[in-house]
Structure 1
Amino acid sequence: MQIRDYYGRIPVSMARKKIEKKSKGEKPQKTLFAPEAEEKTFTVSGFLDYLNSSFGKETFFVTGEISSFQNHPSGVYFSMKDKEDESVLSCYMSPWVYRSLGILLEEGMEIKTGGVPNIYKPKGRFSFKVESVELTGEGSLKKAYDALKRKLEQEGLFERKRALPEFIQKIGVITSRTGAVIDDFRKNLEKRGMRVFLCDARVEGTKAVPEITRAIRWFNTRMPDLDILVIIRGGGSLEDLQAFNNEIVAREIFGSRIPTICGIGHDRDIPIASLVADHETSTPSIAAMLINTSWNRLKEELPDYQSRIIVGYEGELDSRAAEIVRITGAFLGYFRLIETHYQNLRMRIRSGAQKLEARFGDIELAYKEISIKIATALTQGMMRIGERLNSYDTYLAGVSPERNLKLGYSIITNQKGRVVRSVEDVEVGENIKSRLHKGEFVSEVKQVKKE
């Protein structure tokens, strides 16, 4: 029999004995309260700090049933009870952690908590500071599932269903890259040139919820032009699918601006995430087949369009062939007309050539007569030109300065280079230049006499 106080605390002395207690055959284990070589003395505050520091070095996981539950603004206070011996553990969880769980906790639920032991110093109260919670047991999981389903259904989150986009090409997928799910999904997609963008996320465990919600936000922020967002995982029990029966995940899916498909394998109850999504399928493979249906209109109407194109093409060919025949006939008519004109021109040229040939003798005779006349006229003209040139030569020889110089005359120029024609063109003392037939000399004017 164990003695507990009102808050379910075990006295430290008893806790120490229980921790140090060993079963037969077990190897000795190191304990928190193992005796040390040297004695240490603590203050109460220092000792509690030491214990909290030692407890906080490791995360512990504890399973049990919620026996009491109180949700306060300062945090969530509840107790976990052991079914076997009615042991009780006081627990505390911060408001932020509780909001991030996406689970509505109630008394009687079986849960698995992760956290660290902690002693509240002002009261000396021992409690378990919870950092993560998972539901365990089919009853608790089903109870939480039904409660969340009723809540979201009353809010209308299951009613909005956006239509599947037509001709889907860009697909965002959220699932674990290590499983076979993504390969099955890709294999069932038809070869339509679709592009798949995978965001790796855990689909089971305590880290599944934050990773799935983070992936949904990432696609909506970084790739808002996606045609569809697909969240898939293989089958599993209600406990395995806790992340997809989570309120936070459900609201994130509902808030996605990109249309969503949830392909989550399940047995009886459809996951909450699938109920909130725009489209729900029971397996990832069926999700891929659903995407293939976005191309149905093309597959159905393509043969009709193909037939229309062929018929239209054949009609156009017939029309063009008739046009070619018409144009060819017109060209042949033009060619015949050209041939006729060619023959007429040829006859006219031949007739003209015959006429020219008949008159060739007359033309040759006239050419000879004209040549003689031209030659005679040229000879007479040259003679007249020669006579004129002789007369010009005689005249020039008579007036040439060179001739006068040869006769003893000279040409006098003043200092300005001007020809001296009278005494007024020179001055006394000026040097003048006299040009003779052979050579020249310079003289000075000594005296000027005017007549």
Structure 2
Amino acid sequence: MSEQATERRIWSVRALVMNIRQEIETAYSDLWVEGEISNCRPAPSGHTYFTLKDGEAQLPVVLFRRQAGLLRFRPEDGLAVLVRGRVSVYESRGQLQMIAETMEPRGAGALQVAFEQLKARLLAEGLFDAGRKRQLPSFPKCVGIVTSLSGAVIRDIVTVVRRRHARLNLLVYPATMQGASSPESVAAGIRWFNANSSRVDAIVIARGGGSIEDLAGFNDEALARTIAASALPVVSAIGHETDFTIADFVADLRAPTPSAAAELITAAQHRIEERVAALGARVQRAGRFHLMHARQRYTRLSAEAVLNRLRDVVSRRDQRLDELRFRLDAAAQRRLRVPAQRLNAVSDRLRRQDISDRIAATNHRLQAATQRLQRAATENVAGRCTRLERASTRLDALSPLAVLSRGYALVYLQGGAGDGTLLRSSTDAAQGQTIRARLAQGTLEAEITQTHRDEANVMETSKS
């Protein structure tokens, strides 16, 4: 049996996996996959990892940060989605995975899903609670309007306000009400009015109707939190009566339309005007009724009887005034009598207790004490100076320096074992030793050349 030469190709794991990845990425570079999300894990890096599955298989999917930021909804477990992307191989684990480019929910649209998710999250946080919503001011002097200057909304609001409350001022913040920049523009208007809260009493966000895409800017989370954080009451007037946005739920009051918002902010003033008009009509009817009855009564009375009755009424009024005047005078006198008595008593006590003599005696004692203190201080200082002079004299007499100043000297040995020894006899030093003499001013060093001793004293002669 003959051997047949066969040529084998040996792959490294990395090379094989890379080759498979290239083949797969080439074959499945752009495709749509439908399935249900499970095991969804958002990473701190911003990437999102999840598994796409159906009843019989599953596929790992990675959604990188840039693509995840473009989604209008948040991926979560159990959500049926349609994912577009490419299939690849994760080399570190040799695992097949799909790299998603975009994703949209199945069934409801992406905007609707994002709306429901944000609504549920803010509801859980309590931003929709009725307890945190504030009442609109009943009689605002000025209202801030966040809207576009080019639309018909502002004209409708002005028309309604001028008809119902002509004295109400409107301050308009021009904002972008549609598109990607709309949420930040509207939020900037709310922040501006809050920074200038002394100029307005409430804020109205107004926009006309449109599709869900046109109103998507008012479903922004950052805008919702700005509305919730506003110190001024906010009225949301976005779209038509059937349109609902996140801003409507967060705002303190929702108006079905911008015109309805204008009616709401002028409702109290308009109701008062209607009430005043109704009361005015009632007053006129009552006045006419009483006037008619008065004419009927006065027609039965003569002019003299009417005049006498008027005189009686005036006289009784005058009498009542006189009585009240007398009572007022009596009460005033009673109120003033007690303070006057107290004042007189205090004046008498002050006159009896004249303090001028006390002050003079106190000043005299003070002057005498000051003189005694000065004399004592002078005597004390003089005594201390005398004792100091005496002590200085005794100290000078006992000082060695005073003896040296009279021509004497202190002689010490210099060097050797007896260094610094004071010499009292010539026998304490030997010829050739060095000595140091302490004078009144300075010192001298000398060498002993010869010593002399007599019967009474020892004389030392030194040569420098």
Q: TM-score, normalised by structure 1?
A: 0.43
Q: TM-score, normalised by structure 2?
A: 0.42
